[in-house]
Amino acid sequence: MTESFATVRGLRLAWLDSRHTTTSGTTGTSGTTVLALHGHFGRARAFAPLAAALAPDHRVIALEQRGHGHSERGDGDFSQDAYVADAAAFLRGLGVGPVVVLGHSMGGVTAYLLAARHPDLVRALIVEEGGALNRRPEIPHPVLDVSGWPRRAATLHELRRAIEARGVPDASYFLESAVEHPDGWGLLFDYDDMMASQQALVGDWWPGWLASTCPALLVHGLDSFVLPTTMAREMAARRPGTVLRELPGAGHWAHDDAPAAFATAVQEFLDSL
């Protein structure tokens, strides 16, 4: 996927595009356009395997949201309102709507709020592990405390070990944001920003989930520690036009845990539109 930058609401945001140029010089844009939104601590490139699986029939545009990856943090507003406004302005700037919007975790909440508030931009929804209720006691750990994580380490391996020593079984997802600085290895996102963003996501999002009417696919990893299966099934039951796909052996990062099954679920949903 090719990385580009766009000025969105005064912010310089990175985004990746799976659109390709053919040998004849034409640009491949056939099929459905999918806007992909990562979750907390994520990167746009998390969707590269999905883009490859959907190519060449579908185009995947992955936005690196504010404060993540190579995108600017802005004024420190990490509310869902800010994320939704960014996504809407980004799509309007590209002039590609209405599109299918796919979101993982926090990005999933952004996706269904975008569909509710800007229905002209959203043709259909794909929500991966983005719950309608994100608070205790329904979700035991709605906020991952990263405030004590190491800022720098001498090597990438040492950074991994230091993160995993703080209770993270596998730091691979977070290390997608690891880069080498002059004073050692560190992560691209700011820890205080991520704490603020996670806190802003704590709450009841049922009204937003139920407010849109477009077709929707809800993808749930049955081993998830974030989205309870009972909640996933209730979300599908209460919202008309929603298809639930449960992936055995997959957790919260279903696109990483079961990439083939995840791509198949997305492909079948796109084919059904």
Is the confidence at residue 110, as pLDDT, over 90? Answer: yes
Say yes or no to pLDDT of 134 above 70: yes
Query: Average pLDDT in the 133-146 region?
Result: 95
pLDDT given for residue 125 in this prediction: 98
User: Domain map of the chain by residue range?
Assistant: 2-140+204-272, 143-201
Whether 219 contacts 192, CB under 8 Å: no
Q: Could you tell me the pLDDT band of residue 21, with boundaries at 50, 70 and 90? A: very low
Mean pLDDT for the stretch of residues 167-185: 96
pLDDT at 23: 34
When pLDDT is averaged across residues 12-29 and rounded to a whole number, the result is 65
Q: Give me the pLDDT at residue 93, please.
A: 97
- Rounded to a whole number of angstroms, the distance between the first and last alpha carbons of the chain is 25
d(CA 65, CA 49): 19
User: Tens digit of pLDDT for each residue in 50-77?
Assistant: 999 999 999 999 999 999 999 999 999 9
The pLDDT of residue 97: 82
Task: Indicate the CATH number for domain 2-140+204-272.
Answer: 3.40.50.1820
> Does pLDDT of 26 surpass 70?
no
Mean pLDDT of 186-193: 97
Question: Is the pLDDT assigned to residue 24 strictly greater than 80?
Answer: no
Across residues 31-41, what is the average pLDDT? 96
Rg of the chain over Cα atoms, rounded to whole angstroms, equals 18
- Residues 211-238 have pLDDT tens digits of 999 999 999 999 999 999 999 999 999 9
144 burial (CB, 10 Å; 0-12 / 13-18 / 19+) is middle
pLDDT at 19: 86
Mean pLDDT of 159-173: 96
| % pLDDT > 70, the chain | 96
For 197, half-sphere exposure in the C-beta direction (CA atoms, 13 angstrom radius) is 28
